[in-house]
């Protein structure tokens, strides 16, 4: 708590310092309306990370950038949470966009946001809108929207860079482009190899992006973009407390484990921007995305069978089960005796295909008012295949098929929305309405059995109302209400039940969850500081929850049973004091489960949501060419389960240092230290079967690199 008080005190004190003037009116945001809008007209409290800041901090992955944003919490398994959604729920309530195109996967049961499929060197800016965007972006925005906007170049250029870091981290970047008449051509390639902090872990990724843009005139252009990402990596397992004490860097893998993973993503975008008249602007986008995640694991099968024998032995005492269990035990012992060398081979393959288009027109009317009309269509296909079997490595024969599941599912979404902004003197009045229709189809296949998903559709409506008052040349205050929704993923429309001693899949009547949020915000330039603050409250009804019977992976039901409330505030301050640049931010979030089928959850805090998050950044220009910077990030502890019975993951407090020197406009070098104070914390902590499992985060580590631009 002392750290939190100190953080707030630092923000308040820093706002009283003297410094250079910052022109709030010249700062713009693109993600709130889909068109360039003055930040003073924003009825949200966005957080913007520019390419300049990305360059100064020398980020190598997008997840590193997001981790430093006060409104965002990177939780268990790389989940991206905003406004207290929780690590699991945030998969469906935080929307990721790349150049305005949705990038979330349709499968929300096992996969988090695909955030590390871009090269930070290609990013122009990241705009984060917490707790809003339902009218413009539709389903799944109650947590917020993250829009990653990539760079656009014109003219001749070429650049290269290299970074070396701890744990055998090597990153290579090259980019080049030219302009030929009305054409702009941009190409970039990046390779990022690293072993990782944990032993046996590694990642080898390649990213390529190409853009071809044609200018019809100074305001109208057509751009084709292609990008490709490929990553081969080996994951590691979470550790018990005893393993952490023994060696926190160990992999948790057995000597015979052969765990391999790959991620591949391809993307094609065709974007048309035009200003047809002084009162009519147009934007449209045709896109296709293809993502594939494959995981495979080979390990010794004998411990697997021995564990099953031990389980059946415990069941011998159950009434009427003795003879059946004895038979199973004898069969398993016979398998072990006949197959002294065998492997358990298991894996999964996730495929996500997305095709669609979006278009919107901005009509200007009156003195300075406008109306935006948009429509779109997305066809999202997913396939989830999983398998497990044992194989005799001497004869190469399959011994037993344990599971073989195929799940092809589809979701088609149609959307139309209108967003009106009426301006009168110093007042701005915003009204928005969206209609969205989702159609579902697909099936589940388990071995030779097939379970069709009933064809169905859902209609949803989102709306917002806001008033923004520009009370001075630099200050504004706004009040906003938004009604949002999250429509189910196709996989959530079917339950797994136990029927007659066997598993069965049945269709359910799941509905979309609804959210109502209220926000009051303020922005101004005071005491030579740019200050932004907001207070928010949100309530979600019919929250979609998955309830397992007998533990994860067994029978489950998807239900509209949750009701949750969240409230909090955000505070951001930044200053420029001659050679010094400061920025501070603090976020507070209070979350409660109001209603749940599991009464043990009611009145409890939502798991994996830190109540406090604070960041402090400073940069000092030692000379015009040499800069030194540092940042401190603090997150409070989080509960590990919604019943709040399994304890907490402790606080995260990390201090980083970096420096850079520019020899000239072409060549610069840089270096840095991450986790300077060598704080030992965890990227994630989970609880299960009465035990905690830890994924240790890196201790103090180092990096250095250079950039050269021709």
Question: What DSSP string describes 511-530?
Answer: --EEEEEEEEEEEEEETTEE
For position 20, what pLDDT does the model report?
34
- Give 542-556 pLDDT, tens digit per residue: 998 887 775 545 688
CA distance linking residue 559 with residue 497, whole number of Å: 13
For position 313, what pLDDT does the model report?
87
CB 373 within 8 A of CB 364: no
For position 553, what pLDDT does the model report?
54
- Give 561-573 pLDDT, tens digit per residue: 779 999 999 999 9
User: Across the chain, what does the average pLDDT equal?
Assistant: 90
More confident residue, 701 or 528: 701
For position 10, what pLDDT does the model report?
47
- Our CA angle for 631, 633, 634, nearest 5°, is 150
Q: DSSP of 31-76, one letter per residue?
A: TTTSS-EEGGG-SS--EEEEHHHHHHHT-SSHHHHHHT-TTEEE-G
For position 86, what pLDDT does the model report?
86
For position 550, what pLDDT does the model report?
56
CB 577 within 8 A of CB 599: no
From residue 250, give the alpha-carbon distance in Å to each of 236, 356, 464, 633, 679: 9, 44, 50, 26, 18
Give 255's contacts (C-beta < 8 A, 6+ positions apart): none
How would you classify the pairing of strands 580-595 and 183-194?
A: unpaired
More confident residue, 322 or 668: 668
CA distance linking residue 161 with residue 170, whole number of Å: 11
**What average pLDDT score do residues 107-126 get?**
87
pLDDT of 2 above 70: no
Phi/psi of residue 681, each to 5°?
Answer: -140, -175
Confidence of residue 230 (pLDDT cuts 50, 70, 90): very high
More confident residue, 503 or 704: 704
pLDDT of 21 above 90: no
Q: What percent of the chain has pLDDT over 70?
A: 95
Architecture of domain 2-301+339-709: Beta Barrel (2.40)
Helix orientation angle between 322-338 and 302-314, rounded to the nearest 10 degrees: 160
Give 51's contacts (C-beta < 8 A, 6+ positions apart): 123, 124, 125, 151
Closest CA to 568 of 538, 552, 590: 590
For the chain, give every domain's residue range: 2-301+339-709
pTM for this model (two decimals): 0.91
CA distance linking residue 132 with residue 538, whole number of Å: 11
CA distance linking residue 416 with residue 193, whole number of Å: 43
Confidence of residue 311 (pLDDT cuts 50, 70, 90): confident
For position 16, what pLDDT does the model report?
40
Give 5's contacts (C-beta < 8 A, 6+ positions apart): none
**What average pLDDT score do residues 370-395 get?**
94
For position 45, what pLDDT does the model report?
87
- Give 428-449 pLDDT, tens digit per residue: 999 999 999 999 999 999 888 8
What is the rounded (10 degree) CA torsion for 571, 572, 577, 580? 120
For position 6, what pLDDT does the model report?
44
For position 501, what pLDDT does the model report?
66
CB 515 within 8 A of CB 484: yes
Radius of gyration of the chain (CA): 27
pLDDT of 534 above 60: yes
**Lowest mean pLDDT across 90-99, 101-110, 342-351:** 101-110
CA distance linking residue 90 with residue 96, whole number of Å: 11
**What average pLDDT score do residues 215-243 get?**
94
């Amino acid at each position: 708590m002392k750290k939190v008080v100190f953080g707030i005190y630092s923000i308040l004190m820093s706002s009283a310092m003297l410094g250079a003037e910052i022109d709030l009116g010249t700062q713009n945001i693109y993600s709130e309306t889909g068109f360039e809008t003055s930040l003073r007209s924003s009825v949200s409290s966005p957080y913007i990370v520019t390419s300049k800041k990305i360059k100064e901090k020398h980020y190598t992955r997008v997840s590193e950038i997001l981790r430093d944003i006060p409104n965002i919490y990177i939780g268990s398994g790389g989940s991206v949470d905003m406004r207290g959604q929780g690590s699991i729920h945030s998969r469906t309530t935080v929307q990721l966009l790349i150049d305005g195109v949705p990038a979330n996967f349709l499968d929300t049961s096992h996969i988090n946001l695909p955030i590390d499929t871009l090269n930070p060197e290609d990013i122009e800016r990241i705009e984060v809108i917490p707790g809003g965007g339902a009218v413009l972006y539709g389903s799944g925005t109650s947590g917020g929207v993250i829009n990653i906007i990539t760079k656009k170049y014109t003219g001749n250029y070429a650049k290269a860079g290299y970074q070396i870091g701890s744990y055998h981290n090597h990153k290579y970047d090259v980019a080049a482009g030219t302009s030929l008449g009305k054409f702009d051509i941009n190409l970039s390639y990046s390779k990022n190899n690293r072993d990782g902090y944990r032993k046996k872990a590694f990642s080898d990724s390649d990213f390529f992006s190409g853009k071809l843009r044609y200018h019809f005139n100074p305001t109208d252009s057509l751009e084709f973009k292609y990008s490709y990402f490929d990553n081969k990596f080996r994951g590691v397992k979470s550790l018990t407390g005893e393993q952490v004490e023994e060696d926190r860097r160990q992999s948790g893998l057995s000597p015979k484990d052969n765990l391999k993973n790959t991620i591949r993503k391809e993307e094609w975008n065709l974007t048309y921007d035009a200003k047809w008249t002084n009162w009519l602007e147009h934007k449209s986008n045709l896109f296709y995305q293809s993502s594939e995640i494959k995981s495979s694991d080979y390990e010794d099968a004998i411990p697997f069978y021995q564990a099953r024998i031990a389980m059946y032995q415990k069941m011998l005492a159950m009434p009427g089960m003795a003879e059946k269990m004895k038979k199973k035990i004898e069969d398993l012992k016979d398998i072990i005796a006949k197959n002294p060398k065998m492997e358990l081979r298991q894996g999964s393959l996730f495929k996500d295909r997305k095709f669609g288009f979006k278009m919107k027109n901005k009509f200007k009317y009156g003195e300075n008012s406008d109306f935006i009309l948009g429509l779109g269509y997305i066809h999202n296909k997913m396939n989830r295949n999983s398998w497990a079997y044992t194989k005799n490595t001497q004869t190469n024969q399959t011994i037993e098929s344990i599971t073989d599941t195929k799940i092809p599912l589809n979701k088609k979404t149609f959307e139309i929305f209108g967003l009106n902004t009426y301006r009168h003197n110093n007042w701005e009045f915003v009204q928005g309405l969206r209609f969205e229709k989702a159609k579902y189809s697909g099936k589940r296949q388990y071995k030779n059995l097939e379970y069709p998903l009933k064809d169905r559709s859902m209609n949803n409506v989102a709306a917002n109302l806001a008033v923004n008052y520009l009370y001075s040349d630099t200050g504004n205050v706004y009040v906003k209400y938004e009604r949002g929704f999250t429509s189910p993923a196709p996989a959530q429309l079917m339950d797994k039940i136990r029927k007659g001693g066997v598993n069965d899949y049945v269709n359910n009547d799941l509905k979309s969850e609804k959210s109502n949020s209220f926000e009051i915000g303020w922005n101004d330039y005071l005491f030579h500081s740019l200050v932004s603050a907001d207070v928010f409250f949100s309530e979600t009804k019919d929250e979609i929850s998955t309830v397992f019977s007998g533990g994860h992976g067994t029978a489950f039901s998807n239900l509209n049973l949750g009701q949750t409330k969240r409230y909090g505030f955000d505070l951001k301050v930044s200053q420029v004091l001659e050679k010094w640049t400061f920025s501070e931010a603090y976020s507070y979030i209070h979350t409660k489960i109001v209603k749940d089928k599991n009464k043990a959850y009611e009145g409890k805090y939502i798991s994996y949501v830190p109540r406090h998050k604070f960041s402090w950044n400073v940069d000092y220009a030692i000379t015009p060419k040499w800069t030194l910077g540092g940042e401190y990030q603090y997150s409070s502890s989080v509960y590990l389960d919604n019943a709040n019975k399994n304890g907490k993951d402790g606080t995260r407090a990390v201090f980083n240092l970096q420096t850079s020197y520019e020899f000239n406009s072409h060549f610069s070098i840089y270096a840095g230290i991450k986790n300077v104070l060598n704080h030992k914390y965890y990227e994630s902590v989970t609880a299960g079967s009465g035990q905690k499992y830890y994924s240790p985060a890196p201790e103090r580590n180092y990096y250095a690199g250079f950039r050269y631009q021709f």
